[in-house]
Amino acid sequence: MKMLFLTFYFEPDLSAGSFRNTALVEALKQNLDANDTIEVITTMPNRYASYKVQAGNLEERGNITIHRIKTPSHKSGYLDQILAFKTYFQGAFKLTNGKEYDIVFASSSRLFTAFLGAQIARRKKSLLYLDIRDIFTDTMKEVLSNKAQKLITKPVLNTIEQYTIKSAHHLNLVSKGFGPYFKRFFNGTVGYYTNGIDEEFLDYKFEGKMPSNKPKVITYAGNIGDGQGLEKIIPEAARKLNGDYRFKIIGDGSSKTKLSARLEELDVQNVELIKPVKRRELLDIYSQSDFLFLHLNDYKAFHKVLPSKIFEYGAIPVPIIAGVDGYARKFINENVENAIVFGPNNPDEFVRKLKDFKPENRMRHTFVEKYRRASIMQEMAKSIIQMKREPYTTISAESKPD
């Protein structure tokens, strides 16, 4: 069996897509036969302009080959991301020219890696397995503020999306909240292998004691973009909590300048903006925090998502504060202990619930056992390989027995 594996982000990049797909390739490797091969086509690390790390443009790992395409640097703006993806798209076509594949796998949050997979699979007459991590068209309808842009962009994106999804032989959706959206126009098999908890978080030795920070530390780590809407929640909440709490915001993204400007406008002094850090350093910061913070902008599209950050935070014996709605709120309420949930973009509710909360540090053992990334990726890897070898069925990682 020959497999093509398409992912825009891969190790050593820092992103949810990178962590997920690196773990999946490792799981696939453990399930391959001697004559099976996987060709990974990804990019040089580019998730954050402020985080630079070296990686080879070609790696051979036994029966796995990894190609990394160098893309133009970007700061997560729409135009520079389009240019970066155009380079990746063209590079992938060049690398696959003249080759044949039994399965094309594509993991996509912004639709176009999935579209690339559909294009290649159709040309090669290969089976296509799509791993959908976000509903890009749904999000763009709300993000685009200009009516003319929406009128032009919406039909184009809808056409690309339906072409892409209908090209697939199987869809995996990381959130059950995505199901109704795609089932309107996809009649094939659908699975639900979520994101999960990486081994670095499971191996880390937490002290299990409450930090003695004065003021208490609330930490956020991840992308700082329009989807997170941190500029709409952090400055106001921090100003109201000044003296009792301080915030550590770790990461980078297209809205970091908005956040910084809003903090300056309100003269907020208890928020520290920190560049992206490696995961080991991040774990040390988490262990010294009193709360871990998560927030999604108040878009209806985000009522369907299940943020990967929930799994990362859930492995740490620290209280979680989550400003989410829809399926993410339901998932946290049903699965994640020791958490505060409030409405997105609502600093007053955030502050009120935080002040009423009695924090404690305790491990979420049931959650950790159910959502180990390695276990979920093993099941997903088997489902991908099974698509070629025998009649295809799927297991939902969210409904597996504990």
Confidence (pLDDT) at 82: 84
DSSP-assigned letter for residue 209? S
Confidence (pLDDT) at 326: 97
Contact, 225 vs 16, CB < 8 A? no
Q: How many CB atoms lie within 10 A of CB 357?
A: 14
Token code pair at residue 162: 């339906």
Confidence (pLDDT) at 330: 97
- What type of residue sits at position 118? A
Confidence (pLDDT) at 140: 83
Residuewise pLDDT in 10s, the chain (402 residues): 999 999 999 998 878 899 999 999 999 999 999 999 999 999 998 765 545 566 778 999 999 999 999 988 756 566 777 888 999 999 999 999 999 999 999 999 989 999 999 999 999 999 999 999 999 888 887 777 665 566 667 888 999 999 999 999 999 999 999 999 999 999 889 999 999 999 999 988 886 566 778 899 999 999 999 999 999 999 999 999 998 999 999 999 989 999 999 999 999 999 999 999 988 899 999 999 999 999 999 999 999 999 999 999 999 999 999 999 999 999 999 999 999 999 999 999 999 999 999 988 889 999 999 999 999 999 999 999 988 765 444 434 444 433
Confidence (pLDDT) at 400: 42
- What type of residue sits at position 268? V
Contact, 106 vs 131, CB < 8 A? yes
Q: DSSP string covering 39-94, please? A: EEEEESS-S-TT------SEEEETTEEEEEE------S-HHHHHHHHHHHHHHHHH
Confidence (pLDDT) at 79: 76
Find where tokens 């698509």 sit. Answer: 387
Q: How many Å apart are CA 390 and CA 383, to the nearest integer?
A: 10
Q: Nearest to residue 234, comparing CAs of 245, 328, 300, 243?
A: 245
Contact, 47 vs 19, CB < 8 A? no
Q: How many Å apart are CA 46 and CA 225, to the nearest integer?
A: 15
Q: How many Å apart are CA 275 and CA 250, to the nearest integer?
A: 6
Q: How many Å apart are CA 28 and CA 242, to the nearest integer?
A: 49
Confidence (pLDDT) at 299: 93
Q: How many Å apart are CA 388 and CA 345, to the nearest integer?
A: 46
Q: Nearest to residue 28, comparing CAs of 123, 140, 117, 103?
A: 103
Q: What is the pTM of this model?
A: 0.90
Confidence (pLDDT) at 130: 98
Token code pair at residue 36: 């099976």
Q: How many Å apart are CA 367 and CA 333, to the nearest integer?
A: 12
CA distances from residue 75 to 57, 265, 329 in whole angstroms, order as listed: 22, 23, 30
Q: DSSP string covering 137-158, please? A: HHHHHHH---HHHHHHHHHHHH
Find where tokens 């609502």 sit. Answer: 346
